[in-house]
Amino acid sequence: MKRMRAYLDASAVGGPFDPEFAEPSRKLVAAILSGAVVPLISETLAAEIADAREEVQALLEQIMQARAERLSLSAEAIALQAAYLAAGVVSARYADDAMHVAQATVARADVVASWNFRHLVNPARVRAFNGVNLAHGYGMVVVLTPADVVKTLEAEDEQADRSSEGL
């Protein structure tokens, strides 16, 4: 089975240390560390985490050791971010959120994992990001909470179990 490639934003990395999001965030981290999920780590994320608490920085370092794909800032991602901003998907104040989606889109991530309900895990914004993506020849982006990423993984495991049993 193909391993899920998940782009992580800062809220997903910090989630294990937030009581509201801790349990599903820890499950996602466990899936990453077990090799079930390939984490996509961007320079944008690393810059955001540089100012985070020490425990969040340490977790990012641990995730990066788990066969993470490191995404460099590319001209292609910068151009797509500019298209999102020009279309008003998010304002310039939230340009880093647009860059997360741009880098995930250019890298063809299976999913963006985030707890950012205002700018990322937001159906209206996802539709707007995808409108820009399609207009510029890119595929659709999927944005889910870490809890929903874990549910997706569990459903895939159940389906694989049923298939191997001949059901």
Question: What is the reported pLDDT for 167?
Answer: 55
For residue 163, name the pLDDT band (cuts at 50, 70, 90).
low
pLDDT at 97 (0 to 100): 97
Q: What is the pTM of this model?
A: 0.93
Residues 60-103 have pLDDT tens digits of 999 999 889 999 999 999 999 999 999 999 999 999 999 999 99
Residue with tokens 């934003």: 9
User: Furthest-apart CA pair in the chain: how many Å?
Assistant: 52
* CA 47 remoteness from chain centre: 15
* Average pLDDT estimate for 51-56: 96
| pLDDT in the model for residue 156 | 82
Q: What is the pLDDT of residue 24?
A: 97
Q: Which CATH architecture has domain 4-160?
A: 3-Layer(aba) Sandwich (3.40)
Which residue from 149, 88, 64, 89 is spatially nearest to 113, judged by alpha carbons?
149
* CA dist., res. 75 & res. 84, Å (int): 14
Q: Alpha carbon of 104 to those of 45, 90, 141, 144: distances in Å?
A: 11, 16, 8, 13
Give the SS3 label for residue 36: coil
Query: What are the pLDDT digits (tens) for 128-140?
Result: 999 999 999 999 9
